[in-house]
Structure 1
Amino acid sequence: MSKIFISCALPYANGPCHLGHIRSTYLPADIYARYNRMVGNDVLLVCATDEHGTPIAVKADKENKKPIEISKRYHDMIVKDVESMNISLDNFTRTTDEKHYEIAKNFFKDLYDNGFIYREDIQQLYCPNCNKFLPDRYVEGLCPVCGSEARGDHCEKCGRALDPTELDEPHCITCGTTPVIKDTFQYAFKLSDFEDDLKDYIQNNENLPANVKNYASNWLNDGLNDWILTRDMDWGIPVPLEEAKGKVLYVWIEAFLGYISSASQWSEQSGKKWEEYWDDFVVHFIGKDIIYHHSIFWPGLLKAYGCKLPDMIYAGEFLSLEGEKMSTSKNWVIWIADFVKDYDPDLLRYYLTINAPLNKDSDFSWDDFQRRNNDELADVIGNFLHRTFTFTRKYFDSKIPEYANPSAEDEEFKKAIEELPAIAGEYISKFEFREGLLEIFKVAKKGNKYFNDQEPWKAVKEDMQKAANCLYLSNQLAKTLAYTLKPYLPTKADAIAKIMNIDDLSEWKDASVFLPSGYEINKAKPLFKKIDDEVIEAEKAKLQENLKESSEDENMSDLISIDDFDEVVIKIGQVLEAEKIEKSDKLLKLQVDIGEEKPRQIVAGLAKFYSPEELVDRKVCVVANLQPAKLFGTLSQGMILATGGSGALLSPDENGKVGERIQ
């Protein structure tokens, strides 16, 4: 018996699960875990929600909530999604748990104390308006390679990993201000020290699939740089060093440790040692977008820590929707919560597995989903099972008949049944899940043909033994299907077992053990139903409607309500003084009377359009309730309204009085 540590990539707690999450990570991990439990291996399957990082902090800022409120909301949704798909996790926790904080801090401190992490002086983007350094996701701009809109860490268009300082036309996503570059420091991991070790790990690990090896090798070919492990943020796990106040661990050091903290929590509850599973065989199931994190960064950290590296990293390729890339922002997506409202989750488990191998991109199509459900599950597997059970009840009083004087066709079919568990099991053990399911389907299809060829409805009148042999073998296949489908379709497998009076499907070896003659089964009911055309047309229409609504919402996103406008206080002001700001060719420092006791000091980007003398005594429109900010080290207490292109001032009528609010 082997001990196997299996992890699913941590879902990021800024949204619920959609089909792509299930297909690439959770479903294959569950199939592998369920099969290995059935063959007698001791399995530990863990996961957690990844709850730190800038996207959650950004979402919290926009919703005026605390980040923990955002992560808790989506953690609860994700838990429901995973449970609804019957993913058999042994433990599912959170990276905001105290246990995780403790493990992450200790891990960082150990690497630091042993000289693998060092302080590095760097330059980083800083927002003068928000008065803070900007972590990567707080910056957006244009990709310096392809010119597309990009985040501070990544360009989705060309796939290039970026540093925020590389962006063209960067801006702070909170306030829109153009950031400046300032000196600061972070903590870096000596990833470059492990380049040779990682090359050996990638090139000589026979367990790694081709897509992981190729992706990681391409990354390694460019050489490895040391890797910044900290960020300037409030939201995250504090760096456990006195001099590092205000800095947190980057999610791509502490999120990996979610596997360990989840396993550690399980150990406390179960009394078993998770380390025994890790030391035997480790499998990470991930999506292909995080291959280099898991095949390079994570093994590098583990190597420095002195820990065994993962034996297997299985990366599922992308899933598109109706031929187009899934997009949560455009609502071009199918959420798990929506799917399971109307369909049995096993139908989705079947489709996502049978549709394409995990190492190839795949597409979800409602038409193809209907076809596979109707033609394969209902017409082949479902039809075979229903005919077997109803004929056994009708002609043999619900008891498996005697098998005697078999024909060559009987023996050939019998052999296929006996061999199925070993063949399907071999595929699953080698992570070839689609091939295993195809083998099961192939034998079920062979069962349908055998049933048709034997014509038991005729044989009961002309050759009862022929009919008996047909129903004897058909029931044996039905039993074998219950066992072999269990890793793939757990609820449907249990339903087959219930009809066959089987209480337990936990032992894979029992799949090839035939039931004795005289064994009684229960009354059957159809296990798979066809999906009507009208239902599928409605699903496709719903997708298009979602896309349309998203587009309309996007077009309306720049509109504000009258209440929003009322919050902006615009007053008539008069410029009393104006002067240039040293080292800036755009900015002027103005003293503006807006009817208050003291004039307001306002920094305005008008130097290219007006001389200081031209502005003195001019009446202007001033946003008076803007949060004060420093621009080029100069305090600004408002905003002068002017056009962006020509710098034309929005001037009030000559009858307007200084200090009067514009309504």
Structure 2
Amino acid sequence: MAPSDLPILVTCGLPYANGPCHIGHLRTYVPADIYVRGLKKLGKDPLFICGSDSHGTPIVVNAEERGTTPTELVALYHQHFDDVFGRMEVEFDYFGNTDDPSNHRRTRSLVEALMEEGYVYPQEIQLAYCPSCDRSLPDRYVEGICPYCGSPARGDECDQGCGRHLEPGEIAEPLCKVCGSKAGYRTQKHYFFQLSAFSDFLVDFLQELGGTTNARNYALEWVKQELKDWCITRNLDWGVKFPGHDELVVYVWVDAPIGYISFTEEWALRADGDFERYWRNPSRIVHFIGGDIVYHHCIFWPAMLKGAGYTLPSAVVASGMLKIDNKTFSKSRGYVVWVIDDYLDKGLHPDLLRYYLASYTSHTKELNFSWKIFAEKVNGELVGALGNFVNRAVTFTAKNFDRSVPAGDLDPEVTAKIEAAIAEAKAALEEYEFKKFADGAMALADFGNVYFQSHEPWKLAKSDRVRCGAVLRNCLQIAKALAILFSPVMPEKMESAWRQLGLSGTAAWAQFDDALVPMDAGRKLGVPEHIFEKIDDSMVSDLEEIFRDRVAALEAKKGKKGEEKMTAIKFEDFQRLDIRTAVVREAEPIKGSEKLLRLIVEIGSEERQIVAGIAKTHRPEDLVGRNIVVLANLEPAKLFGVESRGMLLAADLEGSAVLLVPETKTPPGTKIR
């Protein structure tokens, strides 16, 4: 079977059923939906699958804090996400739940296959245990210090430092998240997946993997380092029971991606299909994910599939990160936009946000959302360019030609522009570049406005009716092309344009090449109406005020908590810290990391290599020659395989690193007292 004839399965990273949907989620789901709709316009028949990620310790912790059960909590947010996706026009063929019996069965089946092949083995390990709560502390039940970079960390991930996945028992200075007590360690038997056995396979697999380069390159950097075997069991009651051991459940990052398979099974049962067509035979599997879960989808997941004999992914498409009003996205700080409360319930149309998410920047780059920019894009691009052109074409034709498509030939220039826009759309889909997709279509709208204005049909209506009709016929053809091209991005709004053009069927089912099929002369147009409405300044002000109030309230709350937790230390403790001034001599990014820079700094008579998590806020070339402040006697640590001998000091301001620097130029090595 030729690659172009393979069955296509598109999945999205599963939303975690532990809190409401924000626009950071939509950075994955909207582009994936655009991609699927675009494939259909190419004559393909993709299957689009997703579902709720329903297991893991955060859900158990949250349920306990709320006085409910994990089952009830998951049911609440599963329905919430299903509703949000429906309202945002993200149309999955099946939206499942990893706690469904089918996923429990498929997970156990896959794990048993790995065990039979010798890829899963038992091992005794040290696990955090809270004597006060009398319970084991898996994953998010424990907090402490990252053993690799020294940053505060969660039990399963260094979320504030190097970003490294942490195995059970690795975290230093463990504290119980439930009661705050100091935790100890106990020896227990758990089960490991032999990830290290797949190093050579993963190098070859990743070099051929399609999708976005940020996913592929990041994963390759990890694989080229030493891969550690992966503990795949946890001490929890909530989750998929590990085969033969009901006291253990499989780790959430085992059963969550297996949901892609079990959801396909569930769809197949309802649609009289065959899940093995996608997961046991040659197929094209495309995963759309957030940039923070590349490691799991490009390393753990393909190794599991390979070991158990399933079809491997063809592409992994990873989105860039999100900022809110130029601030690092943070729910705890209020830098968040909730899809229902802040957007849909304010009466804003889903297609406007879909367009913003697609057109703001490249899919792999950082996206900034602000209400001001949002309004500017809606008013300038959707109202002023696209909506204005379609309305002028339909309204002027209806007024002067009795709501009928005039006769005449298509202008070769118009045909060429439509052909170019179609080619651009097809190329953009292949490259997973949704900004390129939206920009190409908007360029056609801009051309349409220039074409209408330069041919002056309002003058031709009085002097040359035949020529006027020909001009308007070409304008209507451009409008038809725009409805087709923009339909994957703004489905409902383009159906409105389609109806106004009086066309048969729907814009959703029209294929890209149908944009070149001439409209029939004499076809009756629909009733002209404005597709988009301007967002006025007062609404922007109201939305910005809601945002500012949320941030202020959380900052005030955080300040009070910070004061309560501040504790005094002895002067002797401070004296143990060797804090000195330094000068940056070299700076460069660390391959595979979005956060880290490698610095060579001069501290007195010696030069040190220091790894700093400031790549998102500082360019390497801007750091060279700068006076900085470092902690010089920190234990050496390896981050991304690079040794760091010291720590650069910076203030954490709204998620951005603000470097501490001397008031005046100070000789490197000067001690801070």
**What percent identity do the matched residue pairs reach?**
37
Aligned AA for 2:385?
A: V
Instruction: List gaps (5 residues or longer) in structure 1.
Output: 561-663
The aligned amino acid for 1:55 is P
* Aligned mates of 1:203, 1:262 — CA distance in 2: 28
Q: In 1, Cα distance between the equivalents of 2:302 and 2:291?
A: 16
Residue among 167, 171, 187 paired with 2:175 = 171
User: Aligned to 1:6, what secondary structure does the other structure show?
Assistant: strand
5 Å matches for 1:204-223?
204-205=208-209, 207-223=210-226
The residue identity in structure 1 corresponding to 2:103 is H
- 3-state SS of the aligned residue for 1:192? helix
Which residues in structure 2 correspond to 1:88-487 (within 5 Å)? Answer: 88-158=91-161, 159-163=163-167, 165-205=169-209, 207-241=210-244, 244-278=245-279, 279-338=282-341, 339-341=343-345, 342-403=347-408, 410-487=411-488
Indicate which of 511, 514, 521 corresponds to 1:510: 514
Q: Per-residue CA shift, 1:320-342, capped at 9, x if unaligned?
A: 10011111223321111121122
Give, as a single letter, the amino acid of the residue that structure 2 aligns with 1:360: K
Distance in 2, matches of 1:26 and 1:274, equals: 22
Give 3-state SS (helix, strand or coil) of 1:256's partner: helix
Aligned with residue 58 of structure 1, among 56, 61, 78: 61
Structure 1 CA distance for aligned equivalents of residues 103 and 147 of structure 2 = 37
Secondary structure, in 3 states, of the residue corresponding to 1:120? strand
Aligned Cα root-mean-square deviation (Å): 1.8
Instruction: Give the Å deviation of 1:146.
Output: 4.5
- Give, in angstroms, the shift of residue 209 of structure 1: 2.2
Cα separation, 2, equivalents of 1:430 and 1:144:
39
Contact 1:454 1:466 in 2 (8 A): no
In the TM superposition, what is the alpha-carbon distance from 1:556 to its structure 2 partner? 6.1
Q: CA deviation at 1:374?
A: 0.6
1:469 Cα deviation from its structure 2 partner: 1.7
2-side partners of 1:337 and 1:134: how far apart? 34
Larger radius of gyration: 1
TM-score (norm: length of structure 1): 0.81
In the TM superposition, residue 75 of structure 1 has moved relative to its aligned partner by 1.1
* Change over 3 Å in CA distance of 1:101–1:166 after alignment to 2: closer
Shift of 1:532: 0.8
Could you tell me whether the CA contact under 8 Å between 1:39 and 1:507 is conserved in 2? no
Measured after TM superposition, the shift of residue 133 of structure 1 is 1.5
- Distance in 1 of aligned mates of 2:498 and 2:6: 27
> CA 1:470–1:277 in 2, change beyond 3 Å: closer, same or farther?
farther
Q: Specify the alignment match of 1:580 in structure 2.
A: none
Matches within 5 A, 1:37-76: 37-76=40-79
Q: Secondary structure at the match of 2:175?
A: strand
Q: Distance in 2 between matches of 1:429 and 1:558?
A: 49
- Determine the C-alpha separation between the residues in 1 that align with 2:470 and 2:364: 42
Match in the other structure for 1:84:
87
Partner SS for 2:30: helix
The number of aligned residues is 552
SS at match of 1:184: strand
Whole-angstrom distance in 2 between the partners of 1:160 and 1:106: 29
Hey, what's the Cα distance between the residues in 1 that align with 2:357 and 2:185? Answer: 47
Q: C-alpha displacement at 1:76, in angstroms?
A: 1.3
Q: Secondary structure at the match of 1:386?
A: helix
Residues 174, 184 of structure 2: 8 Å contact kept? no
CA drift of 1:413 comes to: 2.4
Q: Matched residues in 1 for 2:157 and 2:477: separation?
A: 54
How far residue 519 of structure 1 moved from its aligned partner, in angstroms, is: 1.4
Post-superposition CA distance 1:543-579 (Å, at most 9, x none): 010112223444566999xxxxxxxxxxxxxxxxxxx
Q: What displacement does 1:27 show?
A: 0.9
Does the Cα contact within 8 Å between 2:167 and 2:231 map onto a contact in 1? no
Q: Aligned partners of 1:277 and 1:97: how far apart in 2?
A: 20
SS at match of 1:86: coil
Q: Is the 8 A contact 1:45 1:91 kept in 2?
A: yes
TM superposition shift of 1:121: 1.1
| 1:13 aligned partner, one-letter code | A
- Cα separation, 1, equivalents of 2:429 and 2:177: 46
In terms of mean alpha carbon deviation, does 347-356 or 112-121 score higher?
112-121
Which whole-Å deviations, capped at 9, do the CAs of 1:126-175 have from their partners, x for residues lacking one?
11122222102111123345544321122222223334544343210111
Give 1:378 deviation, angstroms.
Answer: 0.3
Q: Is the 8 A contact 1:16 1:81 kept in 2?
A: no
- The one-letter amino acid paired with 2:383 is A
State how far apart, in whole Å, the 2-side matches of 1:415 and 1:136 are: 58
Query: Deviations for 1:438-468, whole angstroms, at most 9, x for unmatched residues?
Result: 1100011010011010111111112223311
In the superposition, relative to structure 1, how do residues 300 and 171 fare at CA in structure 2: closer, same or farther (>3 Å)? Answer: same
Q: Distance in 1 between matches of 2:371 and 2:405?
A: 39
**Which residue number corresponds to residue 35 of structure 2?**
32
1:517-564 per-residue CA deviation (whole Å, 9 max, x = no partner) reads 11110111100111111111211111010112223444566999xxxx
**Contact 2:333–2:555 under 8 Å retained in 1:** yes
Report the secondary structure of 1:388's partner residue.
Answer: helix
**Quick check: 1:32–1:429 contact (8 Å CA) kept in 2?**
no
Any conservation in 1 of the 2:196–2:229 contact (CA below 8 Å)? Answer: yes
Matched letter for residue 139 of structure 1: V
Which residue of the partner structure matches residue 593 of structure 2? none
Q: Which amino acid aligns with 1:31?
A: I
Matched, 1:520 2:524: yes
Distance 1:514 1:272, change over 3 A: same
Q: TM-score, normalised by structure 2?
A: 0.80
Q: Which amino acid aligns with 1:101?
A: H
Structure 2 runs not aligned, ≥5 long: 565-673
Q: CA deviation at 1:514?
A: 1.2
AA aligned to 2:448 is G
Q: Which amino acid aligns with 1:498?
A: R
Q: Distance in 2 between matches of 1:556 and 1:208?
A: 45
| Deviation for aligned residue 1:275 | 2.3
Q: Closer, same or farther in 2 for the Cα pair 1:108/1:165, shift >3 Å?
A: closer
Alpha-carbon contact 1:40-1:507 (below 8 Å) kept = no
**Amino acid in structure 1 at the alignment position of 2:322:** L
SS in 1 for 2:328: coil
